[in-house]
Amino acid sequence: MCLTIIELCEGQPMNADPSQVPNPQNEPDCRAVVQVLDRIGSKWTVMAVGTLKDGPMRFNAIMRAIDGVSHRMLTLTLRSLVQDGLVKRTAYATIPPKVEYELTEPGRSLIEPLGLLVTWIKQNHAGITAARTASADHAHAEQGS
C-alpha cells in the first residue's frame, strides 16, 4: 500500500519486477507519507483545521465549533498540530491566561486539499452508502444460508 501512495505522489508507475521494489519499511518517503497521513487523516484534525481557517480562536470557541469533540481529544489534537507546525499556539500573560490557536502557513495550505476531499466525498457519498448497504445485505444473506 505504501508504495502505491508514493507512486501517486511521484506520478510514476510501480516497477513490475518484484526484485526491484524496495522494502516499504526502509523507504524514508513511505514513512513520511504514512506519518503525515496519520495526522492529517484524523477527523478531529480535519475539523480543527476547518474551524481555524477563518483566523485565531481560543480553545473553548474551537470546542464549541466542533460538535462531539471531547476536551481531552481537542487538547491532544491541537497539541499534535502545534508539534507538527500546522498550528501556532500563542499564550498571553493575562489574568486569567488567554491562549489562542491559529493556522500556520503549512496549516493554511491544507485547506485547499481538504476542501477537494470534502467535494469528492459529497460527490461519492451516495455511491459509497449504496455499496455499503449492498455489501451488508450480501453478508446478511450469506449468514442466513
Tens-place pLDDT, residues 36-49: 888 888 899 999 99
- Whether 65 contacts 52, CB under 8 Å: no
With a CB cutoff of 8 Å and minimum separation 6, the contacts of 48 are: 62, 66, 74, 77, 78, 81, 87
Round the average pLDDT of the chain to a whole number and report it.
Answer: 85
Instruction: For residues 9-33, give the mean pLDDT.
Output: 60
35-44, 51-60, 129-138, range with the lowest pLDDT: 35-44
- Distances from the Cα of 19 to the Cα of 9, 16, 103, angstroms: 22, 9, 43
pLDDT at 22 over 80: no
What is the edge-to-edge ordering of all strands in the sheet holding 87-92? 57-58, 98-103, 87-92
Q: Model confidence at 28, in pLDDT bands (50, 70, 90)? A: confident
